[in-house]
Amino acid sequence: MKLIAIPIDDESLKEWMPHWLPFLPMIARRSKEPLLTLINRIMSKEMRLILIWDETVDLPTALIGIRLHYRDKDLIGELLWMTGSGRQSWQHLLPDVEQMLRDAGCVECRPLCRPGWSRLLKQHGYRLTHMQMEKVL
């Protein structure tokens, strides 16, 4: 398994679209956001993408979506999307994702995760700072 950071220029995003687009319906279902909204976030450069590539079958197995923003002068990387199959085969790449964020100038990584991810993240030094809950009205 290896990480492939998709460049954010329009040409690269379109070139890699056949690889990242199949993951978006799953993200749309979980986030309850329209597929077109997710695509617009990517194409407007709000969301940066990292594919987890399975070299044995030469296909992507997962997608990570990261939003970067500034907190005063500090660049923060928010992992908002982590989806794919066979998580156990690629979850060990988290330190590599963190290094990518460091290399981009980030001083903090903030994953928004489903409950099952918390055990893995705690093993990598993450701590609970906020909790998000929801209720359909």
> What CA–CA distance (Å, rounded) separates 64 from 73?
25
> Is residue 137 included in any domain, yes or no?
no
- The predicted model gives 17-31 an average pLDDT of 95
Classify residue 105: in a domain, yes or no: yes
Q: What are phi and psi of 126, to 5 degrees?
A: -80, 150
Residue 131 falls within a domain, yes or no? Answer: no
Whether residue 132 is contained in a domain is answered as: no
| pLDDT beyond 80 at 134 | no
Name which of 1-10, 32-41, 81-90 the model is least confident about.
81-90
pLDDT digits (tens, 9 = 90+) for 56-75: 999 999 999 999 999 999 99
DSSP-derived secondary structure letter, 7: P
Average pLDDT over residues 35-54: 96
Q: Which residue intervals of 6-77 are DSSP H helices?
A: 10-20, 24-31, 35-43
Number of H helices, E strands in the chain: 6, 5
Instruction: Please report whether residue 12 resides in a domain.
Output: yes
Q: What is the pLDDT of residue 133?
A: 62
Local structure of residue 93 (DSSP, 8 states)? G
Q: Identify the pLDDT of residue 22.
A: 97
109: which strand partners? 77
User: What tens digit of pLDDT does each residue of 72-128 get?
Assistant: 999 999 999 988 888 788 888 989 999 999 999 999 998 877 777 777 778 878 787
CATH number assigned to the domain comprising residue 25? 3.40.630.30
Q: How many distinct structural domains can be found in the chain?
A: 1
Q: How far is CA 61 from CA 3, 21, 33, 73, 102, in A?
A: 10, 12, 22, 35, 24
Q: Token pair of 101, please?
A: 């964020």
pLDDT (average), residues 23-51: 95
Q: What is the per-residue pLDDT for 101?
A: 94
Q: What pLDDT, on the 0 to 100 scale, is given for residue 21?
A: 97
- Residue 119, in any domain of the structure: yes
**What is the pLDDT at residue 131?**
65
For residue 104, being part of any structural domain is answered with: yes
CA distance 35 to 24: 7
Domain of residue 92, residue span: 2-123
Mean pLDDT of 42-56: 95
128 in a structural domain: no
